[in-house]
């Protein structure tokens, strides 16, 4: 009504439960001018306590094809910074492969990213083409999302693989997936415009290859970031040991100064050699993560010692525990200093030991390294009779999105005949539900006239082709 209140008839709380509350106003053209933001989209129970907030919005709708996004939701990003849109001034609504995004009025461009669905970054040559510059938000602009996903995600993967290749990090299996996506994009460009089914099927296949390459590539990059943080943590004892070994000054301020110098030198070497700093959008975040972890460890160590001391003091064992802790720590540090002083007195043996450690590490990493690969798994099941056939199925025999059939059929036009197979069977949740109720799921099947009826546990549909 005029007060912004929506009256509802009586309803059952058990029946409705959590619900989505969407409010919108339209202009004279019928376009949405105000819409609920993402923060207040989910309604509270009871609904009388829910308050929906709307914002002046401009939006567009995109239709995807040739994928099953599963439970992955598409994320709307700012075109300038690639940061998520504020949830109080944006809304993303998805239904299967149809996506509507709304941003604050005045927003000109936006980026969309879903690792299992639509990827629209607006790749174009300025300085960093793999990041993209976004696409315009226009309710009357219909972007070809299949070709855009294959192009933008392929460009993103190519830029990241180039960073790894520059640092001599080769991922052969991911490179093969990326090259397969590029080859399919080239084939799609050569398909005549009149052959829409083959062109769209080939572009969707290229996008599928790019999606398969994105996940392992993203995992490799995350491992590099984690590794550089761990190396920075190890650089602390390394810098301390180098200062004691090469300098060994007795003055505390000079010790701190040389320690900082050696640590910064180690950090500089990692910054040049490790590609993690080029991958991260803001490299200072890596150093910030290192500082947070370091301070957390120091605080936990201090608090743990303080707590143990207080507990023992309450038990009347304060002096004994304090002396034991001091003795343990002093003994460990004395042993370290003795080892370092021995290394300083015998420089030739120290040099030979360091060279031996380096050679052993190089040998182990070179001849005993293991790597994982991504690609198609091939299993021989026996001799083949008749024409070659190929069955595409989910690893767990679950349903496949119907658009996958259309993609394969379009891609293999003139090369193979694609035949769908349908079946009806119990899912794991249905089996558990019927078993708990001590019942058996039955499917009733009748003939064409409805005269004969029989109950079955599962059905498999076979095409006459």
pLDDT tens sequence across 297-354: 889 988 888 888 788 778 776 555 555 555 677 788 788 888 888 888 888 988 898 8
Residue 227 vs residues 165, 276, 283, 289: alpha-carbon distances, Å = 18, 9, 14, 12
| DSSP code per residue over 234-246 | HHHHHHHHHIIII
Domain boundary residue among 108, 127, 152? Answer: 108
Contact 68, 404 (CB under 8 A): yes
C-alpha 401 chain-centroid distance: 22
Cβ-Cβ contacts under 8 Å for 315 (sequence gap 6 or more): none
Cβ-based burial of 279 (10 A; exposed 0-12, middle 13-18, buried ≥19): buried
Of 62, 111, 115, the C-alpha closest to 83 is 111
Domain boundary residue among 63, 83, 108? Answer: 108
> For residue 402, what pLDDT is reported?
80
Average pLDDT over residues 120-139: 75
CA dist 290 and 280 (Å) reads 14
CA dist 235 and 265 (Å) reads 10
Domain boundary residue among 108, 136, 162? Answer: 108
Residue 453, domain member (yes or no): yes
What are the tokens at 23?
């409010």
> For residue 465, what pLDDT is reported?
66
Give how many domains the chain has, as a whole number: 2
Average predicted confidence (pLDDT) for the chain: 83
Task: Give me the domain span that covers residue 459.
Answer: 420-465
Residue 393, domain member (yes or no): no
> For residue 276, what pLDDT is reported?
82
> For residue 56, what pLDDT is reported?
92
Of 39, 75, 70, the C-alpha closest to 399 is 70
Residue 333, domain member (yes or no): no
Q: Is the pLDDT of residue 203 over 70?
A: yes
> For residue 125, what pLDDT is reported?
56
Cβ-based burial of 387 (10 A; exposed 0-12, middle 13-18, buried ≥19): exposed
> For residue 195, what pLDDT is reported?
86
CA dist 96 and 391 (Å) reads 25
CA dist 206 and 118 (Å) reads 13
In total, the chain counts a number of residues equal to: 465
Dihedral sign, CA of 27, 29, 33, 34?
Answer: positive
Residue 457, domain member (yes or no): yes
Average pLDDT over residues 135-150: 87
> For residue 103, what pLDDT is reported?
92
């Amino acid at each position: 009504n005029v007060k912004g209140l929506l009256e509802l008839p009586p309803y059952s709380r058990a029946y409705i439960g959590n619900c989505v509350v969407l409010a919108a106003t339209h202009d004279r053209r019928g376009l949405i001018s105000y819409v609920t933001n993402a923060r207040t989209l989910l309604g509270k129970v009871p609904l009388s306590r829910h308050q929906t907030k709307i914002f002046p919005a401009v939006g567009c709708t995109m239709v995807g094809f040739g994928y099953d996004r599963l439970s992955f939701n598409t994320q709307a990003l700012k075109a300038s910074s690639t940061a998520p849109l504020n949830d109080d001034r944006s809304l993303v609504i998805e239904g299967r492969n149809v996506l509507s995004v709304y941003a604050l009025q005045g927003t000109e461009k936006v980026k969309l990213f879903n690792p299992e669905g639509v990827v629209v970054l607006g790749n174009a040559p300025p300085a960093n083409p793999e990041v993209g510059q976004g696409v315009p938000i226009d309710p009357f602009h219909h972007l070809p999302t299949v070709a855009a996903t294959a192009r933008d995600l392929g460009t993103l993967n190519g830029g990241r693989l180039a960073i790894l290749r520059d640092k001599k990090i080769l991922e052969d299996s991911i490179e093969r997936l990326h090259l397969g996506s590029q080859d399919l994009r080239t084939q799609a460009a050569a398909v005549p415009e009149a052959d829409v089914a083959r062109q769209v099927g080939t572009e969707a296949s290229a996008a599928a290859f790019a999606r398969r390459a994105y996940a392992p590539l993203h995992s490799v990059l995350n491992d590099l970031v984690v590794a550089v943080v761990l190396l920075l943590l190890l650089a602390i004892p390394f810098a301390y040991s180098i200062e004691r070994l090469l300098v060994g000054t007795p003055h505390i301020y000079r010790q701190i100064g040389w320690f900082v110098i050696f640590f910064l030198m180690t950090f500089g070497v990692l910054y040049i050699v490790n590609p993690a700093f080029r991958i991260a959008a803001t490299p200072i975040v890596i150093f910030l993560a290192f500082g947070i972890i370091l301070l957390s460890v120091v605080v936990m160590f201090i608090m743990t010692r303080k707590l143990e001391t207080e507990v023992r003091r309450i038990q009347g064992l304060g002096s004994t525990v304090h002396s034991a802790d001091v003795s343990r720590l002093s003994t460990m540090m004395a042993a370290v200093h003795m080892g370092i002083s021995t290394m300083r007195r015998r420089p030739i043996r120290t040099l030979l030991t360091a060279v031996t450690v380096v050679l052993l590490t190089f040998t182990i990493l070179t001849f005993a390294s293991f790597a994982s690969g991504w690609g198609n798994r091939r299993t021989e099941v026996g001799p083949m009779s008749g024409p070659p056939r190929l069955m595409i199925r989910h690893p767990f025999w679950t349903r496949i999105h119907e658009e996958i059939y259309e993609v394969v059929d379009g891609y293999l036009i003139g090369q193979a005949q694609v035949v769908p197979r349908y079946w009806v069977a119990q899912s794991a949740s249905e089996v558990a539900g019927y078993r708990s109720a001590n019942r058996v799921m039955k499917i009733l099947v009748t003939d064409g006239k409805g005269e004969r009826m029989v109950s079955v546990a599962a059905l498999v549909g076979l095409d006459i082709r």
